[in-house]
Structure 1
């Protein structure tokens, strides 16, 4: 399946799943009055909101290149991810307020019953399936927005488990565990928001990619039999994709046609790395001595 269809399908699947979870958790909350289950319902409601944003954002990012966006629209994805993070952080703050109010007032809600337990266990199982599905698509198609969605689903596994602790605690006579579990839910929500912000800010500020990617680029350049050195390798994020520039050293007596063929081969090889978008290669005569074998390549 191509990238456009794959990422759009993820947005639709996650939206439908979150709508179903909101309905199930809201029903269990209404029947039980459990703060922990209620916090989970709020969490899923926030998930629905960001799912709508992600679905719309993924539609925009998968539009083909046009005159105003010759490199495509993938650079919108980090902004979509940050919108997801804002929704996640807002949900975390809301749950903290609810749980803190409950603890201060001593109103811990009622025993949630078997229905809430089934809903929370089902949430954990369903969210794990969504997490693996989203993570697989994000890794395959290098989508930060879908990775943000995967992180939120992973976090929901933990928060559902924390809510389940609160429900079971209420059932065995420790109702204070209910708002305490809600606070744990909130901590998990806030941490997920932090993770999403941390991962996507690098895409927006043009940070360098991981060292192993840069090493791969350098190895590919030096692997060409006519290349005697490489230096000034610069790789940085432009949105979720990587732009690369580097200098290579070749024999100074080569013809322009020969040098062009070498440059083209290296550009095509480096561009075949999935994360890489554009590659710019500057060719230097090796006689200039800009690259020294005894030094670490710059």
Structure 2
């Protein structure tokens, strides 16, 4: 299954699940009058609205490249994630406000209404949200989708709010209505932190941050694994949306023909592009004899280019030293 199909399918599942939950909670609220279930019904209705926006965003971000967006539409996806983060932060603030207000100015004691039906729909809703969390997180990580990961975290929050509602219902039944406010205040901290997590994880996608060092090492390893590549340097890897664009220089023997150099470049591009997180790859081919090596961490040579100099230190034709006169012959 392609990334495009998988991501869109998750969006449809989320929208359908939230719609079913909103109807179920609304029906139980109408039948029992439970305030806890009523608040959860409103929450699920809001989830339906944001799920529709997320689905639309996922549809746009998985559109193929076109004339106006030659590199695709992936940069839209972090904005979808930030939209989810905004909803999470607003929800966390609302829960915190309601919890703190109830603690500081408690109203009349609440009576337990709804019985097993109210508890049952809250437990079922929490279980569904937990399953959605795991499903979205698994697909989001497998498909490198920050929007799905953000949606997964939002579903985790809904599991926590459902738990707080259950605590409130059972607390009222046991004669301790303040437990509802305490649970809400505690859950709000987790919700607000989740909003921060989503913003933190997606800002890098928008500003073109560098990927993890492990990915840069894999890029160099793949470039140097080609038998004709003698070294690589000037590696630039950065996020374009959730995907990584790469450019680098490779060193080959200068007497190679243009046809041979082209074939080497093509094979290196295909090898690096096979990395799941990588989108576009740009490779510049340098003649090895020019000695364009630099004393930087992303300059490396092929293993058979390394040698031991007269002082017993390992040196190369490049990568930290100027080429020796006999190297240019």
- In the superposition, the TM-score normalised over structure 1's length comes to 0.90
Q: Indicate conservation of the 8 Å contact 2:65/2:72, yes or no.
A: yes
- 1:105 and 2:105 correspond: yes
Aligned twin of 2:298:
297
Distance 1:254 1:54, change over 3 A: same
Aligned length: 296
Listed one character per residue, the Cα deviations across residues 194-216 of structure 1 (whole Å, up to 9, x for unaligned) are 12111111110001111211111
Q: CA deviation at 1:186?
A: 2.1
Q: CA deviation at 1:240?
A: 1.1
Stretches of structure 2 lacking an aligned partner (at least 5 in a row): 300-329
Q: Indicate conservation of the 8 Å contact 1:134/1:147, yes or no.
A: yes
2: CA distance, partners of 1:256 / 1:139: 41
Aligned twin of 2:181:
179
Q: CA deviation at 1:235?
A: 0.7
1:127-146 pair list within 5 angstroms: 127-146=129-148
2: CA distance, partners of 1:28 / 1:186: 25
Q: CA deviation at 1:102?
A: 2.1
2: CA distance, partners of 1:95 / 1:24: 22
Aligned twin of 1:13:
13
1: CA distance, partners of 2:33 / 2:265: 68
Aligned twin of 1:246:
248
2: CA distance, partners of 1:41 / 1:211: 45
Distance 1:26 1:106, change over 3 A: farther
- 1:280 and 2:282 correspond: yes
Q: CA deviation at 1:68?
A: 0.8
Q: CA deviation at 1:51?
A: 0.4
Distance 1:118 1:33, change over 3 A: closer
Listed one character per residue, the Cα deviations across residues 138-194 of structure 1 (whole Å, up to 9, x for unaligned) are 223222211211121123223322332333222222211011112223223222221
2: CA distance, partners of 1:39 / 1:189: 16
Q: Indicate conservation of the 8 Å contact 1:233/1:245, yes or no.
A: yes
Distance 1:177 1:32, change over 3 A: farther
Aligned twin of 2:327:
none
TM-align CA RMSD: 2.2
Q: Indicate conservation of the 8 Å contact 2:82/2:199, yes or no.
A: yes
1: CA distance, partners of 2:118 / 2:277: 43
Aligned twin of 1:204:
206
2: CA distance, partners of 1:170 / 1:24: 22
1:142-181 pair list within 5 angstroms: 142-181=144-183
Q: Indicate conservation of the 8 Å contact 2:34/2:118, yes or no.
A: no
2: CA distance, partners of 1:250 / 1:56: 47
Distance 1:22 1:184, change over 3 A: farther
Q: CA deviation at 1:28?
A: 5.1
Aligned twin of 1:52:
52
1: CA distance, partners of 2:298 / 2:257: 26
- 3-state SS in 2 of match to 1:245: strand
2: CA distance, partners of 1:3 / 1:136: 13
- 3-state SS in 1 of match to 2:23: helix
Distance 1:16 1:109, change over 3 A: farther
- 1:65 and 2:65 correspond: yes
Distance 1:254 1:268, change over 3 A: same
Q: Which has the higher contact order (CA 8 A, sep 6+)?
A: 1
- In the superposition, the TM-score normalised over structure 2's length comes to 0.82
Q: Indicate conservation of the 8 Å contact 1:249/1:286, yes or no.
A: yes
Q: CA deviation at 1:217?
A: 0.7
**Which protein has the bigger helix share?**
1
- 1:192 and 2:208 correspond: no
Listed one character per residue, the Cα deviations across residues 30-73 of structure 1 (whole Å, up to 9, x for unaligned) are 635545x5554454333222101101111212222221112221
Stretches of structure 1 lacking an aligned partner (at least 5 in a row): none
Aligned twin of 2:307:
none
Highest CA radius of gyration, 1 or 2?
Answer: 2
